[in-house]
Amino acid sequence: MVAGIGAVALTAGIRGATELFLGRWVGYLPPGPVREGSPRFTPIARPWLLPLATGLGGLLSGILVFRFAPEAEGHGTDAAIDAIHHRGARIRARIPLVKLVASAITIGSGGSGGRGGPCAQISAGFGSLLGR
């Protein structure tokens, strides 16, 4: 259940970051599922801002991870497996929150990344915290 809450929080964070970085600044919302009422394609109002929004998102998430939780670097799956094998399944309490925010900013601003790795590390972090 804790893992599911982490995944839902990440999805909500990505949605919010997408609306801020891409929707408000760039004037573009990526297409969603058509049957859920999303349009298939929306023209980009300010295409010249897309590289700036993506760069700013990468800079913000990089600063956040570097400053508060270097273990949250990367895609997440390897860090979760490493914690299980080498640290007794202990993950610092701040890791899930930092990973959630940094991943939401990266993906929501148009950066390259997926949801699977961050979900694994966020879920493992919440599980480690709950297990203690």
Indicate the range of 23-27, 72-76, 119-123 predicted with least confidence: 72-76
The vertex-16 CA angle with 51 and 34, nearest 5°, equals 90
Give the orientation angle of helix 116-131 with respect to helix 94-108, to 10 degrees: 160
- The token pair that represents 43 in the structure block: 């023209």
Question: What's the pLDDT tens digit per position in 86-107?
Answer: 888 888 889 999 999 999 999 9
> Where would I find the H helices in 18-115?
50-68, 77-86, 94-108
Please say whether the beta carbons of 65 and 98 come within 8 A: yes
Q: Model confidence at 39, in pLDDT bands (50, 70, 90)? A: low
Query: What is the pTM for the complete model shown?
Result: 0.89
* Tally of structural domains, the chain: 1
Query: Is the alpha carbon torsion for 102, 82, 87, 132 positive or negative?
Result: positive
Query: Which residue type is seen at 120?
Result: A
Question: What's the pLDDT tens digit per position in 40-70?
Answer: 677 899 999 999 999 999 999 999 999 999 9
29: domain range? 2-131
Cα R_g (the chain), whole angstroms? 16
Distances in Å between the Cα of 114 and the Cα atoms of 70, 74, 127 are: 19, 11, 21
Q: Model confidence at 128, in pLDDT bands (50, 70, 90)? A: confident
Question: What's the pLDDT tens digit per position in 10-26?
Answer: 999 999 999 999 999 99
